[in-house]
Homo-oligomer: A and B are copies of this chain.
Amino acid sequence: VGRRSSRHDERAFVVEGTVLVAEAVAAGWSLEAQFTAPDTAPVAAPGVPHYQLASGVIERVASTDTPQGVIAVVNMPAGEVALDSVDLVLVVDRLGDPGNLGTVLRSAEAAGLDAVVVTPGSVDRFNPKTVRASAGALFRVPTITADLADVHDAGFRVLGTSSHRGTSHRRVDWSGRVAVIVGNEAHGLPDDTPVDEWITIQHRGRAESLNVAMAATVLCFEAASQRHDLEQRAGEHGADALDPDGDGA
């Protein structure tokens, strides 16, 4: 399960390290098997076969320079969350770097987005570097495989991120069903990407000074903050309506 093709043929991927394996278990992902170094305890996972490897074996199997003594083979989910069922999504279009995808997943989870959409042509979300950079967010934030036409057809207001043009991310309307797209590290989004509005993060210096993971982090938190403010205001009005006496009872 080291290469993408075999990962997807087997519908399983490798998770390395006690912390990440425990997060997969805690988030309800099903483990195919668990392998440990001689001096390492497995993660508690009832019903999962556990194999202790001979000394030195796990270091040769692991993708990291400093394997932590536990490796799990984790099953990919049988299905995905439907695009129709989510309101605020980040879309990564042909993202190339596994570490960037991991950071994006982490930011999306922290900001409370409903899902991350990964277009075909992006790095595999089950790449070991992605799993590691996500700090376990991969197990908690839903990911959806879809192309940009699917996103458009699902009825989102589609915001395309540009390094140089568009509405400031501070001024754009983040309410309602919104899909915000970030593009490839080297090429960004093509000019003919089907978007409803282009947005940009104003910044100093060169276009490259803000990379895609940083941009996604800023956008996720801007969206979350603006929507939180809107909800609070709506909540205040709602409370008034439910409490016509205004006595808080």
Are B106 and A209 within 8 A (Cβ)? yes
Are B109 and A214 within 8 A (Cβ)? no
Main secondary structure of the interface of A (DSSP, over half): helix
- Give the copy number: 2
| Distance between Cα atoms of A168 and B169 in the complex (Å) | 19
How far, in Å, is A144 (CB) from chain B's closest CB? Answer: 18
Q: Chain B contacts of A208 at CB under 8 A?
A: 135
Q: Chain B contacts of A228 at CB under 8 A?
A: 202
- A3: interface (CB < 8 Å): no
Are B110 and A214 within 8 A (Cβ)? yes
Interface residues on A, range: 20 to 34
- A204: interface (CB < 8 Å): yes
User: Nearest CB to that of A210 among chain B residues?
Assistant: B110
User: A: which residues have CB within 8 A of B?
Assistant: 103, 106-107, 109-112, 135, 137, 140, 170, 201-205, 208-211, 214, 217-218, 221, 224-225, 228-229
Provide 25 A-B residue pairs closer than 8 Å at the C-beta atoms, listed in order of the A residue: A103-B214, A106-B211, A106-B214, A107-B214, A109-B204, A109-B205, A109-B209, A110-B205, A110-B210, A111-B204, A112-B203, A112-B205, A135-B208, A135-B209, A135-B211, A137-B209, A140-B205, A170-B225, A201-B221, A202-B228, A203-B221, A203-B224, A217-B217, A217-B218, A218-B218
